[in-house]
Amino acid sequence: MIKYTRRQAIKTVGRSLVTAACMFPAVASISDKKKRHFITLSFDDGFKKSSIRTAEIFEKYKLSACINVIATAHLPGFELPNEYHALPVGDFVLWNELQDRGHEIMMHGYKHAHKNEISFEQGKDLILKCIDVFSKELKGFKPKESIFNFPFNASTPELEAWLPSQVKAFRTGGPPINALPHKDQVKLTCTSHGPENINEHLNGEIEKLLALPSGWLIYNTHGLDEEGWGPVSSDFLDRLIGRLVEMDSVEIVPAGKALSSK
């Protein structure tokens, strides 16, 4: 079992942000090629209550949420990677429902293992197992159209070199602002914050993005309110998205949809 401490979390981060699917006609692809500030809020871990509420908030603004789930977290006997995961999670019934409603469901590992602390062969095996579960359980899942979101945002050079043979792209720790989505973009880097509430930190990262001529901010969020490591307040998230959708230069989009338009 992989042990995870707050010190490890901070170190990892330091290396680096029922409605029918027809509600979302504007998010099947990038809606406006003139958008210069892309924002992906990449929600990890698949907490049930938070995921349902996150989807509702995004639906309010006719947007797709970006939710990354652990392949086996819903199964009996799942070993918690740390105390922040000791919460009810969704299963593939929920993930398929949310996907049908227009949200993006992507991989966040087979068992949330820290890939920097195991061998390349072990890491590779766990990723292949994760791909296998998603292929069986998530409707329409295609590995080469998917994004693998590293647990703890912890990758290795060996896994980064191998993964493009299996998936479209991967997300790991690193600079939070990426180049605008473009063809053959494989490595996506993100930032996060915790274990305390992230409202202020998230807002600060968005302001940094908006101060630039262009860029793609990927911010690794987790649960809402009191759930998970580094949660964001649901009311704050609602107000934030409401403010951002009014900005002409801003596109709020899941990572997979951002890349699929290229």
pLDDT given for residue 18 in this prediction: 33
pLDDT given for residue 262 in this prediction: 64
Q: Which of residues 230 and 30 earns the better pLDDT score?
A: 230
Res 89 pLDDT > 80 = yes
pLDDT given for residue 198 in this prediction: 98
Written as one string, the DSSP assignment of the chain is: -----HHHHHHHHHT-----GGG-TTSSS-S-TT--EEEEEEEES-BHHHHHHHHHHHHHTT---EEEE-TTTTSTTPPPSSGGG-S-B--HHHHHHHHHTT-EEEE--SS---GGGS-HHHHHHHHHHHHHHHHHHSTT--GGG-EEE-GGG---HHHHHHGGGTSSEEEEES-SEEPPP-TT--EEEEB---SS--HHHHHHHHHHHHTSSSEEEEEEE--BTTSSSS-B-HHHHHHHHHHHTT-TTEEE--HHHHHHT-
Residue 202 near residue 240 (C-beta atoms within 8 A): yes
Residue 150 near residue 171 (C-beta atoms within 8 A): yes
- Averaged pLDDT for residues 233-262: 95
pTM of this prediction?
0.86
Average pLDDT, the chain: 89
Interaxial angle between packed helices 234-244 and 48-60, expressed in degrees from 0 to 180 and rounded to the nearest 10: 30
Biggest distance spanned by C-alpha atoms of the chain: 49
Could you tell me the domains of the chain? 6-20+36-260 (3.20.20.370)
CA–CA distance, 52 with 192 (Å, rounded to integer): 21
Best CA proximity match to 240, nearest among 190, 202, 196, 191? 202
Res 135 pLDDT > 50 = yes
Residue 128 near residue 159 (C-beta atoms within 8 A): no
Q: Which of residues 186 and 26 earns the better pLDDT score?
A: 186
Residue 260 near residue 106 (C-beta atoms within 8 A): no
CA distances from 133 to 72, 128, 146, 159 (A): 8, 9, 13, 19
pLDDT given for residue 35 in this prediction: 86
Convert the pLDDT of each residue in 21-71 to its tens digit.
Answer: 333 333 334 444 578 999 999 999 999 999 999 999 999 999 999 999 999
